[in-house]
Amino acid sequence: MYNKEQILTETDFIVQQIQDLDTVKDYQQVERQIHQNDQIESKMQELKKNQKQSVNLHNYGKMNALKQSEDKISDIESIINTMPIVEEFRSLQYDANDLLQMMISTMEDELNQLNDSTNNQK
């Protein structure tokens, strides 16, 4: 049996191995590029400003202005989402999530098989 400290040590080792995967490295690289992109930063600030404005317009019952603000939010989101680096980020995010889900599923299967064999021995 393993104790808690041994499991945490093994977990750190596995985390390092995951971080060394090309899929994860590519994802992290593009994520850094997005955070450093002035155009995306500008659009995100504009988006946040319009979202706050929409909340205020909704609270004051100004439905026509709210509709215009929500249309502006939709336009900004479309601009952001069609930027090549954002599209690449979403694709890499999907790949990284898929990889992590596969790993989680594999661990669950292994644990369930171990649990089943332990229960069958009793």
Q: What is the pLDDT of residues 61-93, one digit of tens each?
A: 999 999 999 999 999 999 999 999 999 999 999
Give the model's pLDDT for residue 109. 93
pLDDT per position as a tens digit, 23-54 = 999 999 999 999 999 999 999 999 999 999 99
pTM for the full predicted model: 0.72
The answer to whether residues 34 and 89 touch, using CB atoms and an 8 Å cutoff, is yes
Q: Which residues in 53-83 are b (16+ Cβ under 10 Å) and which e?
A: bbeebeeeeeeeebeebbebbeebeeebeee
Q: Is the pLDDT of residue 101 over 90?
A: yes
Q: Which residues in 33-44 are b (16+ Cβ under 10 Å) and which e?
A: ebeeeeebeebe
Reported as a pLDDT band with limits 50, 70 and 90, residue 117 is confident
Q: Is the pLDDT of residue 119 over 80?
A: no
User: Which two tokens mark 101?
Assistant: 């889900």
Reported as a pLDDT band with limits 50, 70 and 90, residue 122 is low
Residue 2: Cβ-neighbour burial (10 angstroms; 0-12, 13-18, 19+): exposed
Give the model's pLDDT for residue 118. 73
Q: How far is 96 from 19, CA to CA, in rounded Å?
A: 11
Reported as a pLDDT band with limits 50, 70 and 90, residue 1 is confident
| Number of residues that make up the chain | 122
Question: Quick one: the chain helix, strand, coil %, rounded to 5?
Answer: 90, 0, 10
